[in-house]
Amino acid sequence: MKAGVISRLNDRKALKIAQDIAQYLMNNGVDVELETETALSMENPGGHTDLGEMSPDFMVTVGGDGTILRTVMQMQEPGTPILGVNKGSRGFLTEVHPNYVNDALDRVLTEDYEIERCIKLSSRHLETGKVFPDSLNEVLLASSMPSKAIDVQIKVNGEPLIDIQSDGVMASTPVGSTAYNLSAGGSILHPEINSIILTAISPYSYFRSIVIPHRDIITLELLKPRSEGMVIIDGRDFTATKPPTTIKVQLSEHVARFIRFKPFYERLERRLVFKESK
- Name the residues annotated as catalytic: 65
Q: How far apart are CA 232 and CA 229, in angstroms?
A: 10
Q: How far apart are CA 164 and CA 133, in angstroms?
A: 26
Paired with 49 in beta bridges are 35
Please state, in angstroms and as integers, the Cα–Cα distance from residue 220 to each residue in 8, 174, 212, 237, following that order: 33, 19, 15, 17
Chain centre distance of CA 20 = 25
CA dihedral 13, 107, 114, 267 (to 10 degrees): -40
Q: By CB neighbour count within 10 A (0-12 exposed, 13-18 middle, 19+ buried), where does 276 fall?
A: exposed
User: Quick check: bond before 244 cis, omega within 30?
Assistant: yes
Helix (H) or strand (E) holding 142: strand 138-143
**Antiparallel, parallel or unpaired: β 229-233 and 237-241:** antiparallel
Of 145, 221, 117, 209, the C-alpha closest to 171 is: 209
SS3 state of residue 212: strand
What letter would DSSP give residue 109?
A: H
Q: How far apart are CA 125 and CA 139, in angstroms?
A: 12
* Amino acid identity for residue 19 in this structure: Q
